[in-house]
Amino acid sequence: MNRPESAWLRRPRPQRHPAVRLLCLPHAGGSTALYRSWKDLLPPEIEPVLVCPPGREDRMDEPLPKELPELVAGLARAVEPLLDRPWAVFGHSMGATVAHELVLRLLRGRHRAPEHLFVSAREAPQHHRGGTVHLLDDDALAAELIRLGGTSPELLAMAEVRGLVLPAVRGDYRLIETYAADPQGPVPCPLTALIGEADTELTAEEAAGWEKWTTGPFQLLTFPGGHFYLSDRPRAVVDAVRRRLLIPA
């Protein structure tokens, strides 16, 4: 990972003095595309900052992290210059785990606490399950992505697309499936967990377990849809985020 730290971040609507900067972290194998529509949905007071991990978009040639703490450390260095303003973080699926660990790492570095932590479609650490998806062959890994609903089956049928997409997916699954799930404490800010009511990857009880990981207010929000409910209803999700960041409509 020898690119400038700014390579981690995309700022589609950069602002010098936003009320809040919102870091948006993707799922395993995901990219900034998951949040691209948010720049037109968020109010001007909230600046979206989209996180692009190594191995995708213009970072295809970069080596993938070998462990989740390595990923978190690189991201922490990248976001530090933006913490001069109030900030919050939204992570989806694997991105929720990365978001939690990122907040804890930045707090250990004596940075200001975030205004809010949003964890989407992810069970709480005490319910973490490892796995072997990263060991599947390409056909089985592609089938898993199709089952979750986050990737077009037509695209995954194309060999050249698989060659571009699957290495990052496999690498991310390895990170999250071998994750030790031993965060060093709760966060000192409000925490909201969001899930799709038809998500087969976790239960409402597992998502509600995030309450243990904050010393502030906690809320569990449920939306229609499955694991990628936020792609189906981005406006509803963005409105929920806006309300919890205390930005009036």
CA gap 2, 147 in Å, rounded: 34
Q: Which residues contact 195 (CB under 8 A, 6 or more apart)?
A: 120, 121, 202, 204, 207, 220, 221, 222, 223, 229
Whether 227 is catalytic is: yes
Of the candidates 27, 128, 227, 231, the residue annotated as catalytic is 227
Q: Which residues contact 12 (CB under 8 A, 6 or more apart)?
A: 36, 39, 48, 50
Of the candidates 27, 92, 93, 120, the residue annotated as catalytic is 93
Question: In one letter, which amino acid is 110?
Answer: R
Whether 92 is catalytic is: no
CA gap 4, 158 in Å, rounded: 32
Closest CA to 140 of 178, 95, 173, 179: 173
Q: Do the Cβ atoms of 3 and 69 come closer than 8 Å?
A: no
Positions annotated as catalytic residues are: 93, 227
